[in-house]
Chains A and B, each alone.
Chain A
Amino acid sequence: MLRGEAAFRAARRQRRRATLVALLVFGLCLTISGMVAEVSFATLAAGLPRIGEYFHRILPRLRWDRLFADSETEGSLAFWFYRWDEWGLLLVETANMAALATLGGAASALVLAFLAARNVSPSATIYQIARRSLEAMRTIPEIVYALIFVWAFGVGALAGILAIMIHTTGALGKLFAEVIENADMRPWDGLLAAGAGRALACRYAILPQVAPNLISYALLRFEINLRGASVIGFVGAGGIGQEIYKVISFNYYEEVSAIMVMVIASVTLIDLLSERLRRRITEAGSSA
């Protein structure tokens, strides 16, 4: 046997044994968690056809010969989307909620991120407070915030905007702080040596470096918030969600599919636009 072959085989045996043990542990954990969560394959098998049935029910009964007839005629597209204008308005409201919440959340995240970035934070205490409060804001799901705000401010978009904004602040604040921690600190020394205070040093030495990254993260968050805003209406916090909840619980089958199609179309459209914008910003940032 070649020199080293024995060592190689020993190392391989060891690696395989480690992989096997890891797989067994993983399998065991999966089984236990399945039992705890009462996952049963029988229920799954019984339920699956019902999902198919539901989708079959919400499908529109379209007829080729009447496809482009008016909204009074059964089987036409116009009949399927007979409330398209109302839903469109609700979708615009949803997008507005997402945009406002992202804007407000990004603005407060920006301020908190400078306090929560180890390299520029004024003190260790402030750093800890900022980090922990960002954690608290993003750990609680936005739907929980929404329930609280609906209770406080009543049903409507305001509750939804505030709920998403707080969650966004927590999520973006952490990302922003990490971008800031990776910034080149030489300009920072340059600013301090010129007699600038901390705020101005953040503005001049750090912000120009990190801005493209921050904008890109904020746009990504906008895409996520758009989906969040379409669901948050389930608890009465405004947007298309309220309508979705209504048609599902009243079993207005065809309307469910009509709204789904509109939601998917508009989310996809905005995603595509925002992705293009993001790519343009990051490319401008790296090439220049």
Chain B
Amino acid sequence: MLELESLTRRFGAVTAVDHVSLKVPAGQMVGIIGRSGAGKSTLLRMINRLQEPSSGRILFEGQDITALRGAALRDWRTSCAMIFQQFNLVQRLDVLTNVLIGRLNRRRGPLSTLTSMLKLFTAEERAMALAALDRFDLVDQALQRAETLSGGQQQRVAIARALLQEPRIILADEPIASLDPRNSRVVMDALRDVNRRDGITVLCNLHHLDTARQYCDRIVAMQQGRIVFDGPPAALTPARVEEIYGVSEEEFEEQARSVPAGLVAAA
């Protein structure tokens, strides 16, 4: 169980996330929707503490995540992997090494840092990575540089990297916003497969309502940093969307897609 208690983040005078409280039971697939600038990304980045909260608390199975430092914080980040809109792979490294990055903080022993610095991985670690790549049909690309892959392939490499962290939660920040419809489907299928088969909790930022309805068990809608809807997909009818956002569903998605330049960094 992941619990957010009155989580808040301010950037100067702007409150990006405003007293958000949320309880996510293990194994749920949650879609977070909202326009760009609604605070979805900031919310996810606070959960793994890439962004520090201004106030509020994050609890995971009773443990206070907001107080973690150093090695404990790194361990927490390892157990809640993140998928990014821009994939965030190391473009000049091969796919296999990119996936093995997921293992770095799982290695123990006095020599682990040294071998990690030298990019030395064991046969077992490579076998894990290759199995993860095989699951997403990418074994043949294992030795190519990440930059030679298509967007959809890169995002699946990122999911394979996340799996090697053996995470309890996956935070997916607009995982399909840079992909075409076909690749979007492949990536969302992969995320749902990870959720169903491995029992990993998935929190996924989306701006496409139909995708959220189709893949998620639960939808959380945000506006101006606040949660304005929380319920099962069936409850988020077009009429409800219009009630929340004051525009029709088509208009909402149109607005969600056109990202205002100034808000990208803050979003």
Q: Which residues of A contact B (CB under 8 A)?
A: 184, 186-187, 189-197, 199-200, 203-205, 208-209, 288
State which of B77, B82, B86, B145 has its C-beta within 8 Å of the C-beta of A288: B145
Tell me whether B104 is interfacial, beta carbon within 8 Å.
yes
Does B92 lie within 8 Å of A190, measured CB to CB? no
CB within 8 Å of A: which B185-234 residues: none
Does A195 lie within 8 Å of B90, measured CB to CB? no
- Would you mind naming 25 contact pairs between A and B with Cβ atoms under 8 Å apart? A187-B88, A187-B89, A189-B82, A190-B87, A190-B158, A191-B104, A192-B77, A193-B50, A193-B88, A194-B104, A194-B105, A194-B162, A195-B77, A196-B74, A196-B101, A196-B104, A196-B105, A197-B74, A199-B113, A199-B117, A200-B113, A203-B117, A208-B92, A209-B91, A209-B92
A95 vs chain B, min Cβ distance (A): 30
Does A204 lie within 8 Å of B101, measured CB to CB? yes
Q: A-B pairs with the 8 shortest C-beta distances?
A: A195-B78, A195-B105, A190-B88, A193-B82, A195-B77, A208-B92, A195-B74, A186-B88
Task: Provide the residues of chain B in CB contact with A186, threshold 8 Å.
Answer: 84, 86-88
Does B165 lie within 8 Å of A194, measured CB to CB? yes
B108 vs chain A, min Cβ distance (A): 13
Does B89 lie within 8 Å of A190, measured CB to CB? yes
Tell me whether B235 is interfacial, beta carbon within 8 Å.
no
Bound-complex Cα distance A186 to B74 (A):
18
Bound-complex Cα distance A57 to B173 (A):
77
Given that A194-B161, A195-B78 are known contacts, is A204 also in contact with B90, CB under 8 Å in the complex?
Answer: yes
Task: Provide the residues of chain B in CB contact with A288, threshold 8 Å.
Answer: 92, 145, 147
Residue of A nearest to B90 (CB): A187
B263 vs chain A, min Cβ distance (A): 18
CB within 8 Å of A: which B96-132 residues: 97, 101-102, 104-105, 113, 116-117
Q: Give the interface SS of chain A, mostly helix, strand, loop or mixed.
A: helix
Given that A194-B105, A195-B104, A199-B113 are known contacts, is A187 also in contact with B77, CB under 8 Å in the complex?
Answer: no
Residue of B nearest to A206 (CB): B90
Residue of A nearest to B97 (CB): A204
State which of B75, B79, B101, B158 has its C-beta within 8 Å of the C-beta of A191: B101
Tell me whether B93 is interfacial, beta carbon within 8 Å.
yes
Residue of B nearest to A187 (CB): B90
Task: Tell which of A190, A191, A193 has the most Cβ of chain B within 10 Å.
Answer: A193
Bound-complex Cα distance A106 to B74 (A):
31
Does A200 lie within 8 Å of B116, measured CB to CB? yes
Tell me whether B176 is interfacial, beta carbon within 8 Å.
no
Q: Mark B140-173, 1 if CB is under 8 A from A, else 0.
A: 0000010100000000001001100100000000
Tell me whether B236 is interfacial, beta carbon within 8 Å.
no
Bound-complex Cα distance A192 to B77 (A):
8
Bound-complex Cα distance A266 to B157 (A):
50
B45 vs chain A, min Cβ distance (A): 9
B86 vs chain A, min Cβ distance (A): 5
Tell me whether B8 is interfacial, beta carbon within 8 Å.
no
Task: Provide the residues of chain B in CB contact with A190, threshold 8 Å.
Answer: 82, 84, 87-90, 101, 158, 161
Does B48 lie within 8 Å of A193, measured CB to CB? yes
Does B90 lie within 8 Å of A189, measured CB to CB? no
A192 vs chain B, min Cβ distance (A): 6
Bound-complex Cα distance A190 to B116 (A):
16
Task: Provide the residues of chain B in CB contact with A200, threshold 8 Å.
Answer: 104, 113, 116-117
Task: Provide the residues of chain B in CB contact with A193, threshold 8 Å.
Answer: 48, 50, 77, 81-82, 84, 88
Task: Provide the residues of chain A in CB contact with B162, threshold 8 Å.
Answer: 194
Bound-complex Cα distance A288 to B89 (A):
16
A197 vs chain B, min Cβ distance (A): 6
Task: Provide the residues of chain B in CB contact with A204, threshold 8 Å.
Answer: 90, 93, 97, 101, 104
Taking A190-B84, A195-B165 as known contacts, 6 extra A-B pairs with beta carbons closer than 8 A to each other, sorted by chain A number, are A189-B82, A190-B89, A194-B77, A194-B101, A194-B165, A203-B117
Does A205 lie within 8 Å of B117, measured CB to CB? no
Given that A193-B77, A199-B117, A288-B145 are known contacts, is A208 also in contact with B50, CB under 8 Å in the complex?
Answer: no
Q: Mark B58-83, 1 if CB is under 8 A from A, else 0.
A: 00000000000000001111110110
B232 vs chain A, min Cβ distance (A): 29
Bound-complex Cα distance A190 to B89 (A):
7
Residue of B nearest to A191 (CB): B101
A188 vs chain B, min Cβ distance (A): 8
B91 vs chain A, min Cβ distance (A): 7
Task: Provide the residues of chain B in CB contact with A195, threshold 8 Å.
Answer: 74-79, 104-105, 165
CB within 8 Å of A: which B10-27 residues: none
